[in-house]
Structure 1
Amino acid sequence: MTTIWRLLLLFLALHCSYAIAQSQIVIQLAKPIYTDAVKQQYIHKILTKSFAAVNADIIIRYDSQPMNDKRIVEQLSHNKAITLAWLSLPSQLSNTLVKTTIPIYKGLHGKRLLIIHKKEQLKFKAIKNLEQLRPLLAVQQQSWSDYDVLKANGLSVNGELDYAGMVKALESGLADYFPRSALAIGVELQRLQQTNFVIAPDIMLQYPNDYYFYLSKENQNIRDLLEQGMQKIQQSGELEQLYLQHFGDVEKQFSLSQRHIINLKNRE
């Protein structure tokens, strides 16, 4: 083989490698503050199956530092450290971004169970409406979506504590309850298994709270690919299968259909 042919083949190989690298989409995600393996697996599978459905080759990576929702929105808005995130945002924030249209958790994230001290079970068993809940003190971080919802419904909320502080306040009786998503509360209680906490009996808070994938407007093309892919796996039934595979037992585990619902309006 002549030198010219070798050089030509080397050029073609390099050109093909460059083209392949260019066709790959790097999806940079925020490192989660708390690890929830089930939710992470669910999100990963939605992303990989959706992009695969439109023949898009992706690589998923995580930023090195954990981020809360406020930081995530800031990074997305300026198209900085992350490519996309799954969030529930009010319209005034979501207008600065682009999003997909299919709810990720089918509204299940808007069902809130209350973590309480086990000695308070009788007190919470008697609660049937919002008026009875208002004199009690909830704990929630100000950067979390629930904080604004609880405040908008006239509930008393301490938003000044970090996670360890919230746990301590609940254990000591300085706070009465800690609302958590039905999707997350199982993992939460495992993390808190050394405490005297239980789920408040019989009641559940509920408000409209749909999660979508959000991206910078500069990544409209990635959003469009993801949207097309999600539409395809929804039509094929794969998206429903993923949901049932990861969260199908939540309803049964926490008897959600048998709980008395206290409806809250959303922060909007």
Structure 2
Amino acid sequence: MKGFLLLFLLSVSWPVLAKDIINYSWYGAHRTSIKYDKYYTDVLTLALEKSKAKYGEYELNKINAGMSQNHMITLASKNRLVNLVWTMTSRDREDKLIPVRFPLLKGLGGCRISLIRKGEQHRFDELTSITELAKFNAGQGTMWPDTVILNNNNFQVSTAREHASLYQMLAKGRFDYFPRAIHEAFNEIQQFPELAIEQRFVIYYDSPFFFFVSKAYPRIAERIQHGLTLAHHDGSFDEFFASHEITKGAIEKANLHNREVIVLENPLLSKETQRALIDLKFNATCIGNAQN
């Protein structure tokens, strides 16, 4: 009986004592020196702390792995080295991993203003239609969902495998503009003085950034979803977004009221993600502030 009682107590207490181990890929060294990754690790920590009462302790480990977005996704999908990534969603990515359907940037990731070469704003001011802009070459990553979205909307796109090389390609005239999420553009312009922010247009398409978890760890996905939902309902996520060094003041600096908004269709969204965006109503962050 004593042995049976001990086994019973251990079985009851195990879920309480278990520690969720989250291994995420850190690949900032392969990109610019601006560490957007810190935003995601900070919001991940917020979610894990919020979920402590229900799920208990956790361990968060930075793993130097993943040479690109696609490589990082492959590692997580095969449960090699890492079990969590953050990236823009697509049906393909949602098939390979468990998506935590909570837009980590409140829709800001799909609100794009562009980097251009200094002294070339006049080229964009002289355009008479969106069709003319679409004939300019936009720079994007070879395997990015953005490339598919832009091509699907009849925009010309030049690509590169390495994220970091796109800035030099733009500076050297290999393409005309580099659409970036608002918070990215204002951080990057400080690093590349030969570039400027285009002042006339904002390109918008639904493209939420999610946490994705290896299918071997459904509990971790459930935990993060629970934590983010709590943070959303108690207002702490909004406070986090408004005060974080990466996102603070980005919308105001973009001067959206004086920009022409170009809304594009995203053919890569799953029906489940479309419903989640409607429920959370985060995407009005961008297009609600721009002129039509």
- Shorter-chain TM range is 0.7 to 0.9
Kindly indicate whether the alpha-carbon contact (under 8 Å) linking 2:66 and 2:72 is maintained by their aligned counterparts in 1.
Answer: no
Q: What secondary structure is seen at the aligned counterpart in 1 of 2:72?
A: helix
Deviation, 1:76, is 1.7
Counterpart CA distance in 2 for 1:36 and 1:59 is 25
RMSD: 2.4
Counterpart CA distance in 1 for 2:86 and 2:160 is 25
Residue aligning to 1:258: 258
Matches within 5 A, 1:1-268: 23-33=18-28, 34=31, 35-37=33-35, 39-55=36-52, 56-127=56-127, 129-160=129-160, 162-163=162-163, 165-193=165-193, 195=194, 197-246=195-244, 247-268=247-268
Q: What secondary structure is seen at the aligned counterpart in 2 of 1:139?
A: strand
Counterpart CA distance in 1 for 2:168 and 2:44 is 37
* Farther off after superposition, 116-125 or 25-34: 25-34
Deviation, 1:40, is 3.4
Counterpart CA distance in 2 for 1:128 and 1:31 is 43
TM-score by length of 1: 0.83
Kindly indicate whether the alpha-carbon contact (under 8 Å) linking 2:65 and 2:81 is maintained by their aligned counterparts in 1.
Answer: no
Kindly indicate whether the alpha-carbon contact (under 8 Å) linking 1:206 and 1:263 is maintained by their aligned counterparts in 2.
Answer: yes
Deviation, 1:161, is 5.9
Counterpart CA distance in 2 for 1:161 and 1:218 is 29
Q: 1:95 to 1:132 in 2, by over 3 A?
A: same
Deviation, 1:128, is 5.7
Counterpart CA distance in 2 for 1:226 and 1:164 is 30
TM-score by length of 2: 0.77
Q: 1:107 to 1:24 in 2, by over 3 A?
A: same
Q: 1:28 to 1:169 in 2, by over 3 A?
A: same
Counterpart CA distance in 1 for 2:45 and 2:116 is 38
Counterpart CA distance in 1 for 2:101 and 2:62 is 24
Deviations 1:24-77 (A, max 9, x none): 32211111333544x434323322222222223222222223432111221121
Deviation, 1:163, is 4.7
Deviation, 1:165, is 4.7
Counterpart CA distance in 2 for 1:75 and 1:85 is 9
Residue aligning to 1:5: none
Counterpart CA distance in 1 for 2:26 and 2:128 is 38
Deviations 1:232-256 (A, max 9, x none): 1211111111111122400111212
State the structure with more CA Rg.
Answer: 1
Counterpart CA distance in 2 for 1:169 and 1:41 is 26
Number of aligned residue pairs: give it.
248
Aligned-residue sequence identity (percent) comes to 21
Deviations 1:194-222 (A, max 9, x none): x2x11112211111111111111111011
Counterpart CA distance in 2 for 1:30 and 1:43 is 11
Match of 2:65, as an amino acid? Answer: Q
Kindly indicate whether the alpha-carbon contact (under 8 Å) linking 1:30 and 1:67 is maintained by their aligned counterparts in 2.
Answer: no
Deviations 1:73-118 (A, max 9, x none): 2112111121211222211331222122221111011011111112
Unaligned runs of 5+ in 2: 1-9, 269-292
Deviation, 1:262, is 1.2
